[in-house]
């Protein structure tokens, strides 16, 4: 067993809290949204965590997701589910990004994406709370992560995805034991089917932010990042934003670390990056709105951020505004150009959503929103190996005359 899980530790969870009203909910019970229809946030006794977990103790642990056990909700070690959630590296991209630009490459995680962080935590808590059947809408990578972790602990899983979801995602979901259905609609249309089935008692709804624990897994991105940078935050973070769980989670992580006395009050400017063909958060940000209206006719090559409506919209917008950041939209040509240049010049194969963050950084650099001397972290949310690539169809006849100069 991982040496970060060598013994049972009671977690320091005190209660759950409605993100809109602040109303308290009992821990250790199954919850979806609050009575106000908004996401629930897990709260901890952070003073007790700080007293029980000196920072040097944490630094001696193996650098994986579960080193943060005291700041996570799973109470019993026997309920931990794992496929080897490593700490993901910070990769410099000096040629395509700049001297002070780092990519946090989440494609190294199990199932090849950062969805592993949220779903490992959500599935572990579902196991702990006795859930036996789960359903979820997905654009691909979340469904793959859910299928893998649910298979590992024997939870029945049904996944609904838009009919144009990348084939590799649909097949890996099916290969890992889930029943996967292609739906003639977008992810929120899939979510409506999940919601109807949940209302009829057919399954537990695992839609983004409709259960409290995916945020807790995703917040480990922020915890890791701070530790990797020597217990400080970067100047700016560019995050590909669909449902926005990771951005919300990181913002929560920074607050918790400050309350524990591990970092100061400085925060990175948070840039929520969306595709121009599906940018509800950008539109709401620019209009000064607290909530984002559904984006009609959503389309983009970056399927992972093609989310027409996010239930946590106000939390995303709150974090962006409080940080002094911005919501930015980039077009598909800029996304594809960024993916191509990073691969050719820096040797790092980004997914389209990761390419969107590089494109948005360049846009922000040109507009003076960021300075090239600032330390910036871009999130690559999945391995580029899952996505279609341009053909490479040159051939060579070994029996003929070979023009070595032409090679």
At residue 10 the predicted structure's pLDDT band, cuts being 50, 70 and 90, is low
Q: What is the pTM for the complete model shown?
A: 0.94
115-205: which CATH topology?
A: Rossmann fold (3.40.50)
Across all residues in the chain, what is the average pLDDT?
Answer: 95
Mean pLDDT of 173-199: 96
- The predicted pLDDT at position 11 comes to 78
Q: What is the pLDDT of residue 6?
A: 56
pLDDT at 7: 52
pLDDT band at 9 (very low <50, low <70, confident <90, very high): low
- pLDDT band for position 2 (50/70/90)? low
Q: Give yes or no for residue 215 having a pLDDT over 70.
A: yes
Mapping DSSP onto H, E and C, the string for the chain reads CCHHHCCCCCCCEEEEEECCCCCEECCCCCCCCCCCCCCEEEEECHHHHHHHCCHHHHHCCCCEHHHHHHHCCCCCHHHCCCCCCECCCEEECCCCCCCCEEEEEHHHCHHHECHHHHHHHHHHHHHHCCCCEEEEECCCHHHHHHHHHHHHHCCEEEEEEECCCCHHHHHHHHHCCCEEEEECCCHHHHHHHHHHHHHCCCCEECCCCCCCCHHHHHCHHHHHHHHHCCCCCCCEEEEECCCCHHHHHHHHHHHHHHHCCCCCCCCCEEEEEEECCECHHHHHHHHCCCCCCCCCCCCCCCHHHCCCCCCCHHHHHHHHHHHCCEEEEECHHHHHHHHHHHHHHHCCCECHHHHHHHHHHHHHHHHCCCCCCCCEEEEECEEHHHCCCCCCCCCCCCCCCCCCCCC
Fold of 90-113+213-386: Rossmann fold (3.40.50)
């Amino acid at each position: 067993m991982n040496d970060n899980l060598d013994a049972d530790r009671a977690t320091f969870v005190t209660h759950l809290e409605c993100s809109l009203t602040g109303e308290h909910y009992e821990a250790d019970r199954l919850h979806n949204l609050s009575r106000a229809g908004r996401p629930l946030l897990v709260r901890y006794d952070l003073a007790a965590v700080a007293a029980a977990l000196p920072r040097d103790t944490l630094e001696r642990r193996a650098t994986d997701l579960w080193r943060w056990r005291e700041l996570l909700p799973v109470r019993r070690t026997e309920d931990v589910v794992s496929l080897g959630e490593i700490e993901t590296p910070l990769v410099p991209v000096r040629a395509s990004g700049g001297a002070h630009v780092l990519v946090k490459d989440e494609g190294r995680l199990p199932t090849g994406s950062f969805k592993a962080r949220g779903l490992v935590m959500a599935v572990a808590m579902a196991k702990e709370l006795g859930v036996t059947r789960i359903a979820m809408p997905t654009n691909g990578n979340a469904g793959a992560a859910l299928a893998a972790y649910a298979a590992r602990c024997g939870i029945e899983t049904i996944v609904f995805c838009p009919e144009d979801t990348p084939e590799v995602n649909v097949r890996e979901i099916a290969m890992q034991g889930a029943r996967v259905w292609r739906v003639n609609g977008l992810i929120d249309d899939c979510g409506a089917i999940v919601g109807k089935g949940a209302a009829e008692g057919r399954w537990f709804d695992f839609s983004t932010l409709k259960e409290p624990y995916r945020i807790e897994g995703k917040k480990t991105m922020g915890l890791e990042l701070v530790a990797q940078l020597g217990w400080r935050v970067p100047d700016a973070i560019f995050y590909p934003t669909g449902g926005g769980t990771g951005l919300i989670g990181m913002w929560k992580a920074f607050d918790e670390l400050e309350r524990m006395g591990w970092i100061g009050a400085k925060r990175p400017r948070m840039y929520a990056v969306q595709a121009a063909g599906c940018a509800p958060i950008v539109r709401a940000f620019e209009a000064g709105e607290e909530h984002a209206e559904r984006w009609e006719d959503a389309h983009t090559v970056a399927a992972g951020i093609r989310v027409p409506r996010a239930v946590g919209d106000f939390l995303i917008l709150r974090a962006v505004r409080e940080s002094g950041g911005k919501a930015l939209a980039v077009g598909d040509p800029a996304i594809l150009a960024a993916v191509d240049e990073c691969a050719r010049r820096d040797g790092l194969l980004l997914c389209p959503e990761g390419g969107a963050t590089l494109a948005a950084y360049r846009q922000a650099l040109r507009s003076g929103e960021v300075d090239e001397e600032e330390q910036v972290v871009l999130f690559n949310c999945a391995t580029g190996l899952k996505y279609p690539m341009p053909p490479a169809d040159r051939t060579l006849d070994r029996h003929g005359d070979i023009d070595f100069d032409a090679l």
